Amino acid sequence: MTNEPTSESITAVILAGGMARRMGGEDKGLVMLDGKPLIEHVLARIAPQAEAILINANRNAERYGAYGHPVISDSLHDFQGPLAGFLAAMHSVESDFIVTIPCDGPCLPADLIQRLYRAQQSAGAEIAVAHDGHRMQPVYALISTQLEASLSTFLASGERKIDKWYGQHNTVTVDFSDAPETFLNINTPEERDQFKAPQ
């Protein structure tokens, strides 16, 4: 085991497949923030950390594809939540792990993947998920792709709750209480207009 992820072992997956109801249905990854789409802020933060990046999107595939990374849609229909994006990513990659991040979180730390990976390796866990000091942040996670069959079965049963699926596996939480800005996200037009990036 090593505490440093290799480029072959991890694929970063940007989750842009939701309906964004609170954003009036607008595709959140393409919502403008400080003059550029949210997806560009996220890509700028995650690209130095992972050579392999996927974008999980159920709309506007051509626009997302213009960023030069593969775009995958959910294999399940009707916007069934983040776990559907996890499953589509697991099915599409050859890496040992995926790291999932939302498209509306523009303040990712420079060592997000490294910290998740180190915790996973130290614990021998199947899943490492960020914790902000108050609660788990389930869409910021490193997940073994060997769990694809488990997740497929879970979703086929009608379940959609991330926490419940994590509870079925060896999951370690990773303390990010020193970096609360990690979990700032843009859910509404008002939040977008009021957003100020941490200094």
pLDDT along the chain (199 residues), means of 10: 67 81 67 91 96 92 95 75 92 96 94 96 97 96 97 93 96 96 80 63
What's residue 2's pLDDT? 56
Q: Cβ distance 15 to 90 under 8 Å? A: no
Q: Which of 78, 50, 39 is nearest to 186 (CA)?
A: 39
**Tokens standing for residue 123:** 């614990």
**Tokens standing for residue 60:** 């506007």
What's residue 37's pLDDT? 92
**Angstrom distance (rounded) from CA 36 to CA 24:** 19
**Angstrom distance (rounded) from CA 146 to CA 2:** 19
Q: If DSSP codes are grouped into helix, strand and coil, which group holds residue 131?
A: strand
What's residue 185's pLDDT? 82
* Percentage of the chain modeled with pLDDT above 90: 69
Q: Running DSSP on this structure, what letter comes out for residue 16?
A: E
What's residue 51's pLDDT? 86
pTM: 0.90
Its CATH architecture, for the domain 10-189, is: Alpha-Beta Complex (3.90)
**Angstrom distance (rounded) from CA 120 to CA 143:** 9
